[in-house]
């Protein structure tokens, strides 16, 4: 009898290292796709495919919605792949499972991974996974980021915004900061009332701030953005080149969001870097300069008089602050929720939630 349960609504099989190795061993064609990508990036002539050999698997860690595994076949670490297994039902993901791969196809070379393949769960085969090449580098603690690294990331983001295809994703989110905040708070109050109660004290000040930034969103461009460019989603190689991973929140939206998520008035490990006002302004200036060098200076979709460069810069600074505030305010509720669930990291998340909310209080009052 065929099950009537939609496989997208249930948790897909959670694989251990041996099961990931078996999966990779059954998909030798993954490396057929990976080899040209590797050679193109290193200026090498065509070489022979690695033999099946032993598949070596190592855990890379857990993200918001996926558990990632490093897979090396044939003993060549240069051909390392990443297999990501969803840790929630597919229907609960922000994007369809293969959407990240579609986005990666539009991302400028050298900025992220290359897509290899994906599998949506079916009644016959409930496995779900996404496969990409490995992005070189490692995550740095937020405390280790300096002005040069923030500037390097900012230039990479400018490349993404200019050269990332506008049709890379159908999702669009350039909104109204007040409406977005009100909708987010309503979601927390309905779905997570205990965590939502931790937001109530700060809500009036947050709302006032977002209301004051509202007019700046008239000048927001709609470009391909990563959507979650915090320090935790950036890998830095030995040459200091930053690259982005975890494109779950990518969409056509406001570039100021990508600038904001690295941090600023709010800092917290491992996500948000401490930046003062002058450093934030410097980041925006680096971005404006990079956009001009790429032949696509800042512009505004707003009607009426065309704003000058200084007005566009000011609007971007205001939107950047609004995006950061929205992110850290509602993420603090998530931290409270994780802490309340208990576990080994409960104390860390409780302390982080309290610290973030105190910084918001200091910022807005």
Render pLDDT for 193-231 as a digit per residue (tens, 0 to 9).
999 999 999 999 999 999 999 999 999 999 999 999 999
CA–CA distance, 365 with 357 (Å, rounded to integer): 12
Q: How far is CA 116 from the centre of its chain?
A: 19
Do 124 and 147 lie in a common domain?
no
The pLDDT value recorded for residue 170 is 57
Sign of the torsion angle spanned by Cα atoms 134, 140, 142, 146: negative
CA-to-CA separations, 239 to 26, 136, 138, in angstroms, rounded: 35, 10, 12
Do 104 and 162 lie in a common domain?
no
Q: What is the dihedral of CA 300, 303, 306, 309, to 10 degrees?
A: -30
Region 239-248: what's the mean pLDDT? 93
CATH number at residue 111: 3.30.200.20
Do 315 and 212 lie in a common domain?
yes
CATH number at residue 285: 3.90.1200.10
Do 85 and 30 lie in a common domain?
yes
CA–CA distance, 86 with 214 (Å, rounded to integer): 36
Could you tell me if residue 1 is inside a domain?
no
CA–CA distance, 38 with 41 (Å, rounded to integer): 5
Q: Which one has a higher pLDDT value, 287 or 306?
A: 287
Band (347; pLDDT cuts 50, 70, 90): very high
At 33-46, the pLDDT tens digits run: 776 555 444 444 44
The pLDDT value recorded for residue 47 is 44
Here the contacts of 346-350 (C-beta below 8 Å, separation 24 or greater) are none
Percentage of the chain with pLDDT > 70? 90
Residue 59 bridge partners (DSSP): 69
Do 47 and 178 lie in a common domain?
no
At 143-176, the pLDDT tens digits run: 999 999 999 999 999 999 999 976 655 566 668 9
Range of the domain at 297: 142-364
Domain count, the chain: 2
């Amino acid at each position: 009898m065929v099950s009537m349960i939609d496989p997208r609504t249930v948790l897909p099989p959670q694989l251990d290292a041996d099961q990931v190795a078996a999966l990779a061993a059954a998909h030798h064609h993954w490396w057929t796709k990976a080899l040209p990508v590797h050679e193109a990036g290193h200026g090498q002539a065509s070489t022979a495919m690695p033999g099946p050999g032993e598949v070596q698997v190592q855990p890379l860690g857990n993200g918001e919605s996926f558990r990632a595994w490093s897979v090396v076949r044939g003993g060549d670490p240069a051909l390392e792949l990443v297999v990501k297994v969803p840790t929630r039902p597919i229907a609960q993901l922000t994007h369809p499972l293969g959407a990240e791969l579609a986005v990666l196809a539009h991302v400028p070379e050298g900025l992220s991974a290359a897509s290899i393949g994906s599998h949506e769960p079916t009644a016959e085969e409930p496995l779900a996974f996404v496969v990409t090449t490995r992005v070189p580098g490692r995550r740095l603690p937020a405390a280790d980021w300096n002005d040069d690294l923030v500037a390097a990331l900012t230039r990479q983001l400018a490349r993404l915004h200019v050269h990332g295809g506008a049709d890379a994703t159908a999702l669009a989110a350039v909104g109204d900061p007040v409406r977005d905040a009100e909708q987010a708070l309503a979601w927390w109050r309905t779905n997570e009332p205990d965590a939502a109660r931790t937001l109530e004290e700060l809500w009036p000040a947050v709302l006032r701030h977002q209301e004051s930034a509202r007019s700046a969103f008239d000048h927001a461009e709609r470009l391909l953005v990563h959507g979650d460019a915090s320090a935790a989603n950036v890998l830095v190689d030995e040459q200091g080149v930053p690259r982005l991973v975890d494109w779950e929140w990518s969409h056509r939206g406001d570039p100021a969001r990508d600038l904001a998520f690295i941090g600023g008035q709010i800092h917290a490990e491992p996500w948000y870097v401490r930046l003062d006002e002058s450093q934030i302004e410097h980041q925006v200036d680096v971005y404006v300069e990079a956009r001009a060098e790429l032949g696509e200076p800042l512009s505004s979709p707003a009607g009426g008089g065309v704003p000058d460069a200084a007005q566009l810069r000011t609007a971007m600074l205001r939107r950047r602050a609004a995006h950061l505030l929205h992110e850290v305010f509602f993420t603090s509720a998530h931290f409270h929720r994780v802490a309340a669930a208990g576990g080994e990291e409960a104390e860390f998340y409780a302390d982080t939630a309290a610290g973030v909310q105190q910084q918001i209080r200091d910022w807005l009052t």
